[in-house]
Structure 1
Amino acid sequence: MAHFDLPEDQLARYRPELDVPDDLEEFWSSTLAEARGFDVDVELTLVDTGLRAVDAYDVTFSGFGGHRIKGWYVRPVGDDVVPAVVEYVGYGGGRGLPHERLAWAAAGWGHLVMDNRGQGSTWGTGGSTPDPAPAGRGVGGFMTRGIDDPHDHFYRRLFTDGVRAVDAVRTVAGVDPERVAVLGGSQGGATALAVAGLVPGLLAAMPDVPFMSHLARAVVLTDAYPYREVADHLRTHRGAEARVMRTLSYLDVATLGRTASAPGLFSAALMDLTCPPSTVFAAFNHYGHPAGSEIDVYRFNGHEGGEQLRWARQRAFLADLLR
C-alpha cells in the first residue's frame, strides 16, 4: 500500500477544527458520576499459571452500569509497591490468557489487562465479559451499536469501563496509585486516549495507531472496517448522517484527548488504511499535554504499526518520567 493520506510534513501540522458538542463535559461528567455510583468492588483471585516470577490474578470490577468487567492482573512476586499500567485491547479481542503478557510484570510493573465487553470472539484467545446493554439498530460490529443516541452507544460503555479499570487498579494493594499509565493499540489506543482525557493524575498515556479519532474524516477517508460500518449504515439509512455524526462526536478521542493531563507517547503508520495517519495526527496535535509528548511514525507500515518494538519504546518513555 502506497502513502495515501496527507504528506508527512502536512501531517505534522494537521490540527483540524473538531466538532465539539456544547454539552460534552456534562455528558461525560454525568456518565462517570453514574458509573462511580456503583462500588468498584475489585475482586482478585490468584490463579495457578505455573510461573514463579510473577503472580497472576483473575480480576473482576464494576464498569459502566455496575456491569461486572473481567481482566487479568499480573505483577512481580513480592510485596513491593509498584507502578502499574492498564492495557486496553483492540477491536474484537478480549483479555486472552494471563501468560500472554508478561513483559511489564517482568520489568517490575503491575499490569492490568481489561477485557472488552461484548467482544473477544474475533481474534486471540477469547474474552469473558458480556455486554448486557441492548444493541439497537445497526449493522454488524460495534460502531453502530446505539448509533442514534450517544447515551446508548457501545463506546460510551467501553470508555467508561476503561476509566473504571484505572479506578480499580488504584485500589489494589501494592500499586502506587500516583504512578498509573494507560496504553493500547487501535481500539485499545482509542480507549487509552479517552481515559487520558477523562482521568486526571495519570503518569502517561501511550496510544498506538488509535481508532475512533477525527471521526468526521475517518468515515469518509477509508473504506476499511470498522469505519466502513458507519458508511454501511448510512448507505441504508439515507438522511441519518447528521444524527449519526452527532452521536459519534461525543466519542471522538481527538476531542476527548484535548483535556488530557499526562504526557503522551503516540504512534502512527503512514500506510494504515484502518486508522489513517491524519486521524492519528489530529489527536496528537490536539492532545492536552503537548509538553513531553511524542509521536513515532512508521513510514512503511500499515495498521500493525511498530508491533513488538513498541514495548521497549514505552518502557523507556515511562522510565524517563519516573526519573
Structure 2
Amino acid sequence: MTSFAHDFPFDPAYGLTLDDLSRIPAPAAPEDFAAFWKARHDEARAVDTAPEAGPVEEERDGVRLHGVTYTSVGGVRIGGWLALPVEGEVEHGFVVGHGYGGRQGAGPDVPLPLSRSAAILPCVRGMGSRSRLPGVPDEAAGHVLHGIGSRDTYVIGDCVADLWCAASALQELLPRLAGPGRLGYLGESFGGGLGALALPWDDRFGAAQLTVPTFGNHPLRLTLPCDGSGESVRAHHRQYPEVTEVLRYFDAATAAMSLELPTLVAAALFDPAVPPPGQFAVHNALAGHRELMVLRAGHFAYEGLAEEGAELTRRRERFFGAWL
C-alpha cells in the first residue's frame, strides 16, 4: 500500500493493497450492452468526417503539429491537432485521448511512442480550446453530467463517437493507415476511460495504452469519495439514484471484458481524482493480452514522479513496438 502526506479529507489509497486491487472485478454487462455500443459505432462510422488540416503551428519532438477539424456525430465539428513526422513516410498512426482538464495543445502527448508516426489529438465535444459547444459545460464537474438522464443523450457516448470519428479523419487524411489493426490508441484518465469504451467495437485499432483510466466499476465508484469528476456523479446519484441504470452502459470495466486487443494499463495505487479500484477493475477485466505498470500515484505530485514517467515512456515504446 502506498501512502503520501496529503490534506484530502479521504484516503486516496482507500486502504487497499495491490493484492486487493488485483481482485476487483467488473460489473456485469446489461443484456444489450454490446448491441448498444455496436449501433453507436455503426452510426459514427457512417459519418463523412470531412477532415481539414491547417498550416504548421509548431514543430518539436520529430513531428510537425497542424490544427485539424473534422465532423462527428450530430454534425458537430471537432477541433484538435494533427501530428505528422518531420522526416520519413508515415508508418504508424495514433488516436490520442485527453484528460478531463481538456487539451490546450499537443502538450505531453508528443513525442509519440514510435518514430515515423502520425497522430490525431482531438478535443472531444465541449472540451479543450477547440471543441467548445454551446450548452455543453467545458469543466469536468458539469461535463460529466451533461445528458446523463438517458443512455441516448449522455455526452460520454458522443465523446466516444468523437474518438471513432477521429480515427476516420486520420485515415482519410492518410490513406496508408487504412485497414484493420493499423492504429494505436493512447488515453489518460478521462481519455483512458473513453478508450476502454471505444476500442472493443473498432477493428481499426491494433493496440492501446490506458493510463489511470476513469469510469471503471461505477457501482464501486459511487461509494468512493474523490476530488475528480466522479464526485460530481456521486452527488447527482444521491439526488437521482436511478442514474445507475444509465451508468451501466458507460462502465469502462464492463467494456474491458470485450476488449481483446493488446492493452497496456498504467494504474495507480494512490489517486485522489480517479479512485484506484476503478482503474484496476479496467485492467483486471481485459479480455486480451494485457500488461500492467503499477504507478505509485496518479493525479498527484510526488518525489520520483519524473523517473516513473520515464519508465512508463520506455514501457510504452516497447509495447507498441511489439504490437503495431
Would the TM-score normalized by the shorter structure come out above 0.5? Answer: yes
Q: TM-score, normalised by structure 1?
A: 0.85
Amino acid at match of 2:273: T
Give the number of equivalent residue pairs: 304
Amino acid at match of 2:258: T
Q: TM-score, normalised by structure 2?
A: 0.84
1:9 — aligned with what? 19
Matches within 5 A, 1:154-303: 154-173=155-174, 175-177=176-178, 178-235=181-238, 237=239, 240-241=240-241, 243-289=242-288, 291=289, 293-298=290-295, 300-303=296-299
1:124 — aligned with what? none
Is 1:89 matched with 2:86?
no
Amino acid at match of 2:252: V
Amino acid at match of 2:194: T
Question: How far has the Cα of 1:175 moved from its partner?
Answer: 4.5
Compared CA separation, residues 284 and 20, structure 1 to 2 (3 A): same
Where does the alignment leave 5 or more consecutive residues of structure 2 unmatched?
5-12
SS in 1 for 2:222: helix
Question: How far has the Cα of 1:179 moved from its partner?
Answer: 2.4
Is 1:115 matched with 2:115?
no
1:153 — aligned with what? 154
Q: Are the aligned partners of 1:5 and 1:276 in contact in 2 as well (CA < 8 Å)?
A: no
Q: Are the aligned partners of 2:226 and 2:274 in contact in 1 as well (CA < 8 Å)?
A: no
> Separation in 1 of the partners of 2:231 and 2:272?
11
Deviations 1:231-253 (A, max 9, x none): 22234x2xx31x20111111111
The alignment yields a C-alpha RMSD, in angstroms, of 2.5
1:123 — aligned with what? none
Tell me: higher relative CO, structure 1 or 2? Use CA pairs within 8 A at least 6 residues apart: 2
Is 1:142 matched with 2:139?
no
Question: How far has the Cα of 1:99 moved from its partner?
Answer: 6.8
Question: How far has the Cα of 1:102 moved from its partner?
Answer: 3.5
1:72 — aligned with what? 81
Identity percentage over the alignment? 26
Where does the alignment leave 5 or more consecutive residues of structure 1 unmatched?
121-126
> Separation in 1 of the partners of 2:111 and 2:126?
27
1:60 — aligned with what? 69
Amino acid at match of 1:7: T
Question: How far has the Cα of 1:36 moved from its partner?
Answer: 3.1
